[in-house]
């Protein structure tokens, strides 16, 4: 069984934020399969449970993602090697995709929390590029800004190869 987690922040005010790239990609994936999210207070997440995989959108806010991820892995007794985390990355150009296994968090606070809570970085990461902000915009502010309509369209058309991992 695979656990596929999209990282983001809960709430309508964050729905279109760059930092919600993991949620956006996972929403599109679920929609393409005709699946519907269910709230799970047990896992502090929205989840979709299927025979071979579970889709997860933690509702704990980005920097506390490890709480939800560790709960669901523990409950289903899934090895972290079968965990896939989909998240935004400012170090990749816009729409760039990089898949890595066992890589460090590289400054991504959501991934840092998951590594801390699981005690390992031996899981898959699908990094989706945002690019760096232009001008004097801080990265912390950049990731909390909304995508434009054109950017959202491109993100939702992005194939990150979830079934191939």
Q: Which of 140, 80, 131 is nearest to 107 (CA)?
A: 140
Q: What is the pLDDT along the chain (165 residues), one digit of tens a residue?
A: 999 999 999 999 999 999 999 999 999 999 999 999 999 999 999 999 999 999 999 999 999 999 999 999 999 999 999 999 999 999 999 999 999 999 999 889 999 999 999 999 999 999 999 999 988 999 999 999 999 999 999 999 998 887 655
Domain count, the chain: 1
| CB neighbour list of residue 43: distance below 8 Å, 6 or more residues apart | 56, 68, 71, 72, 75
Outline where the chain has alpha helix (H): 21-32, 65-76, 109-118, 139-142, 149-157
Residue 121's domain comprises 2-164
19 catalytic? Reply is: yes
Q: Which helix (H) or strand (E) holds 46?
A: strand 45-49
Please give the Cα distance from 147 to 155 (Å, whole number).
9
| CATH number of the domain that residue 99 is part of | 3.40.50.1470
Please give the Cα distance from 131 to 45 (Å, whole number).
28
Structural contact between residues 145 and 139, judged by C-beta atoms closer than 8 angstroms: no
Q: Which of 19, 87, 108, 109 is catalytic?
A: 19
């Amino acid at each position: 069984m695979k656990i596929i987690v999209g990282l983001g922040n809960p709430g309508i005010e964050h729905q279109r934020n760059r930092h919600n790239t993991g949620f956006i990609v996972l929403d599109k994936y679920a929609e393409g399969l005709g699946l519907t999210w269910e709230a799970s207070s047990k896992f502090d997440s929205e989840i979709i449970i299927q025979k071979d995989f579970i889709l997860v959108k933690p509702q704990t806010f980005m920097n506390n993602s490890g709480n939800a991820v560790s709960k669901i892995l523990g409950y289903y007794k899934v090895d972290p090697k079968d965990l896939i985390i989909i998240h935004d990355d400012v170090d990749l150009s816009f729409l760039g995709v990089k898949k890595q296994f066992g890589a460090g968090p590289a400054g991504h606070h959501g991934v840092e929390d998951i590594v801390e809570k699981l005690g390992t970085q031996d899981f898959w990461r699908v990094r989706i590029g945002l690019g760096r902000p232009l001008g004097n915009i801080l990265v912390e502010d950049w990731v909390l800004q909304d995508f434009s309509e054109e950017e959202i369209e491109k993100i939702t058309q992005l194939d990150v190869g979830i079934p191939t991992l």
